Amino acid sequence: MATVRFDKATRIYPGADSPSVDKLDIDIADGEFLVLVGPSGCGKSTSLRMLAGLEEVNEGKIWIGDRDVTNLSPKDRDVAMVFQNYALYPHMTVADNMGFALKIAGVDKSEIRRRVEEAAKILDLEPYLERKPKALSGGQRQRVAMGRAIVRSPQVFLMDEPLSNLDAKLRVQTRTQIASLQRRLGVTTVYVTHDQVEAMTMGDRIALLKDGILQQVASPREMYDKPANVFVAGFIGSPAMNLLSVPVTQDGAKFGTHRLDIGRDELANAGSKVVVGVRPEDVEVRTDNDGLEIEVDVIEELGADAYVYGSPVSKDIHLEGSDEEGERPFIARVDGRNVPRKGEHIFVFPKPQHIHAFNQETGARLI
Amino acid sequence: MTTSNPSVPPPAVEKKQAPKGPRKLTKAEIRATEAKTKLTSPWATGIAIVMAILWTIPTFGLLVTSIRPQSSIQNSGWWTWFTNPEFTLDNYDAVLFGSSTGFLTYFVNTVVITIPAVVIPITIALLAAYAFSWIEFRGRDLLFVAVFALQIVPLQVTLIPLLSIYVDVGLAGSFWTVWLSHSIFALPLAIFMFHNFMKDIPRSLVEAARVDGAGHVRIFFRVLLPLLVPAIAAFTVFQFLWVWNDLLVALTFAGGTPNVAPLTVRLAELSGSRGQDWHLLSAGAFVALIVPLAIFLFGQRYFVRGLLAGGVKG
């Protein structure tokens, strides 16, 4: 068990102009489950591979416990990694796959057998120990890859999108299993995924990256309630948060006809416009013609709830992320038994406690 | 031999998947199915049989000739054997044990030449291919292109320079000349081929081994080598046949020294300088042919798959 610390770790690929991972600073506590998440190409896998020793660190340092591992080779770092394609050795049986690292470490045969069987028991792999990987299903292969990591009882588990090759149902199941297994073993884990749902459900904390730059590290709850900037706000949550650019006037920021409860001090540095964010479930549909007028385009019925997809009637207001390919819809969650009709005009405004406001230029959070 | 039979996997996979309902076939599988239907049509089968017969007739004729008495060989064609069957092992006796021919010694020479001439290049090429595939070093790509480009140098060009080098360093007249020459000529293609096979092995497999604590030596022997068995087998067959049947290199470097000259050199002499022995040619040829034939039959599935595997990607 150990802590992990990225200390301004930077990776610049040869021939690239900008760093793939730029001055990454994260402290990971002992036994913590940290999820690295972000869109593809954001540097999350690179960060993980830097920690594994598979990728060179050009600047900064990486610590595991109180050891500086920046220039150590993977075998000297005492980390175990689960790969996206599992990377099982095709010519070895499941037992040999799981025991390979121990065999290299010179652990004695009966001890290897004991630890492999122990791990197999945890993962329900006992009947398959003598099989080759090609005779296993996708889920079983995934468990073997997990087993290979568990058997070593390393300082840190590294997982690189281990669920992305499973079908949807199995993925949800395995997600819970991995999370509970990690809590049970108490091994510090760094987990990479592009799926924000996985990140929210599994991690003690989430680190969100974009273009190699760390956007925010926080617990899933904090990430959801207090996103540090516009990007985090748009990335976390499904359906995504509504982000509107609204003008700041003398009275403050206005959301349609409704004046938003944002303090003058916060608005002082914001310029002439602010980006206001409101999650679909924090939208109130009003009947008193107060708020932002929306024309309903599509209704998605989910039973208990329904999602209303609409567009602002006023042509001056656009949702962030709209471009030539089309306007982003405004999304509101409404009571499933009281759904507006298609084409109807409704008035929406955010519940006062759940308004997010961001600087138009920098994207940084105001309140 | 530890890996699966090449013809088995596709149907096996389909059988396993069947209970889960139909699934989309991969490109490779579609191509395999198409090829299978085309190749199993009656026409294709018919043509294949005709070709097989046409191709086998000369070999069969050689076999028949080799068991006919000297007078018959010199007076009539082998096909007359069917109307006038005769059988004798005198030719084989003369070829193998006769004092003037001494095929047995040459046979041993060929074996002594062939085995190191196969083992040396394959060993070196595997190591080189590993370095080219998995070790980062300066000038790697340039060096690889250089090695690749060596394939276009015709080996005839190198014969005289090599011979003079061998004479200078005092190797002339030993087996080393032939071993080294065959190794030199085989290496560019071998390195290129093994490099391609190694590149086809997923990178994450090597990375997993590195994280598991394996160094280069262990990765090479424990992870990559077992996966390369088909490629190694294919190239072994290839190189074995080439060296065994080689006349040019052997004649140039070992032709003048009877105690290191291989079968092929002796075989050429049978019909050439000592023309009076030409009735022994068929028996001699058959002796020379039997080992490669056995090797080919034994290794042909690797041979065929090995050559195809690099070129067709799924």
pLDDT score, position A143: 92
d(CA A319, CA B39): 60
Which is more confidently placed, A60 or B73?
Answer: A60
> Which structure tokens are listed for B147?
């090695």
Chain A, nearest residue to B204 by Cα: A87
d(CA A10, CA A162): 24
pLDDT at residue B304 tops 80:
no
pTM of the full structure: 0.79
pLDDT score, position B2: 40
Mean predicted confidence (pLDDT) in A260-265: 75
Are residues A307 and A332 in contact, defined by beta-carbon separation less than 8 angstroms?
A: yes
Tens-place pLDDT, residues A180-189: 999 999 999 9
Percent of chain A with pLDDT strictly greater than 70: 98
B204 closest CB neighbour out of A74, A80, A83: A83
pLDDT score, position B230: 82
Q: How far is A75 from chain B (nearest CA, A)?
A: 4
Are residues B306 and B231 in contact, defined by beta-carbon separation less than 8 angstroms?
A: yes
Percent of chain A with pLDDT strictly greater than 90: 57
- Is A105 close to B213, i.e. CB distance below 8 A? yes
B213 closest CB neighbour out of A85, A88, A104: A104
Minimum mean pLDDT range among B23-37, B72-86, B219-233: B23-37
Interface of A with B in 141-160 (CB under 8 A): 148, 152, 158
Q: How confident is the model at residue B282 (pLDDT cuts 50, 70, 90)?
A: confident
- Report the candidate in A285, A293, A272, A270 with the shortest Cα–Cα distance to residue A357: A270
pLDDT at residue B1 tops 50:
no
Percent of chain B with pLDDT strictly greater than 90: 29
Q: How confident is the model at residue A6 (pLDDT cuts 50, 70, 90)?
A: very high
- Is A54 close to B211, i.e. CB distance below 8 A? yes
d(CA A338, CA A98): 55
Minimum mean pLDDT range among A71-85, A243-257, B111-125, B135-149: A243-257
d(CA B288, CA A132): 42
- Report the candidate in B145, B139, B144, B148 with the shortest Cα–Cα distance to residue B188: B148
- Is A87 close to B213, i.e. CB distance below 8 A? no
Interface of A with B in 50-89 (CB under 8 A): 52-54, 73-75, 79-81, 83-85, 87-89
Are residues A278 and A241 in contact, defined by beta-carbon separation less than 8 angstroms?
A: yes
pLDDT at residue B278 tops 50:
yes
In the beta sheet, which residues pair with residue A298? A309
Give the side-chain half-sphere CA count within 13 A for A357.
Answer: 27
pLDDT score, position B237: 85
Q: What does the DSSP 8-state code read for residue A319?
A: B
Q: List, in order, residues 6 or more apart from A44 with CB less than 8 Å away.
A: A36, A37, A38, A192, A193, A194, A209
pLDDT score, position B142: 94
Tens-place pLDDT, residues B256-269: 777 788 888 888 87
Q: How confident is the model at residue B20 (pLDDT cuts 50, 70, 90)?
A: very low
pLDDT score, position B5: 43
Minimum mean pLDDT range among A17-31, B4-18, B269-283: B4-18
pLDDT at residue A332 tops 70:
yes
| CATH of B103-310 given 1.10.10.10, 1.10.3720.10, 2.40.110.10, 3.10.20.30 | 1.10.3720.10
pLDDT score, position B90: 81
Mean predicted confidence (pLDDT) in A243-251: 81
Which is more confidently placed, A51 or A289?
Answer: A51
- Is B212 close to A84, i.e. CB distance below 8 A? no
B213 closest CB neighbour out of A84, A91, A101: A101
- Is A75 close to B207, i.e. CB distance below 8 A? no
Q: How far is B149 from chain A (nearest CA, A)?
A: 26
Chain A, nearest residue to B209 by Cα: A101
Minimum mean pLDDT range among A206-215, B139-148, B225-234: B225-234
- Among B135, B140, B212, B216, the strongest candidate for a mutation testing the A interface, having the largest count of A CBs within 10 A, is B212
Are residues A38 and A44 in contact, defined by beta-carbon separation less than 8 angstroms?
A: yes
- Is B212 close to A52, i.e. CB distance below 8 A? no
B211 closest CB neighbour out of A74, A84, A90: A74
Tens-place pLDDT, residues B79-135: 888 887 888 888 888 777 776 657 788 888 899 999 999 999 999 999 999 999 998
- Is B207 close to A83, i.e. CB distance below 8 A? yes
pLDDT score, position B3: 42
Minimum mean pLDDT range among A222-226, A248-252, B113-117, B198-202: A248-252
- Is B226 close to A53, i.e. CB distance below 8 A? no
Contact pairs from chain A to chain B, CB under 8 Å: 60
pLDDT score, position A20: 92
Q: ipTM, 2 decimals?
A: 0.85
Q: How confident is the model at residue B11 (pLDDT cuts 50, 70, 90)?
A: very low
From chain A, pick out residues whose CB is under 8 angstroms from the CB of B227. 90-91
pLDDT score, position B10: 41
Listed in order, the ranges of chain B carrying CATH 1.10.3720.10 are 103-310
Dump the DSSP string for A209-267: EETTEEEEEE-HHHHHHS-SBHHHHHHSSSSPPEEEEEEEETTEEEETTEEP---HHHH
- Is B227 close to A91, i.e. CB distance below 8 A? yes
- Is B208 close to A89, i.e. CB distance below 8 A? yes
Mean pLDDT of chain B: 81
> Which structure tokens are listed for A251?
């009275």
- Is B210 close to A53, i.e. CB distance below 8 A? yes
